[in-house]
Amino acid sequence: MPITTIGKIFKPQLIWWEAENVAKEKVSALLLEHNISSSELDVKADKDEKHGYIVTTTLNNSVPKNVITEIEEKIGKFHFKHQIVY
């Protein structure tokens, strides 16, 4: 459990972890549908001043543009801010 400096549970981190899990699950499934390995997939949620937090998905350069567009559409349906980097 993430703990604050005064010993309380840091609830935003729990939300970030859940957002990471959801994004990773959806992106992995989409990559699998297109027979693309998800071994280099990295998903991280971090604090963002404007949105509260942002989920960043890092993909390798071999993922086709049409698959990236599908990922953006699928993840865009969730309430969290998301970005894809290569």
Contact predicate 56/48, CB 8 Å: no
CB 20 within 8 A of CB 26: no
* Model confidence band, residue 76 (pLDDT cutoffs 50, 70, 90): very high
Whether 38 has a pLDDT exceeding 90, the answer reads no
Q: How many CA atoms lie within 13 A of 84 on its CB side?
A: 20
This prediction has a pTM of 0.85
SS3 53: strand
Q: Please, which residues have CB within 8 angstroms of residue 53's CB and are 6 or more apart in sequence?
A: 12, 15, 16, 19, 45, 46, 47, 80, 81
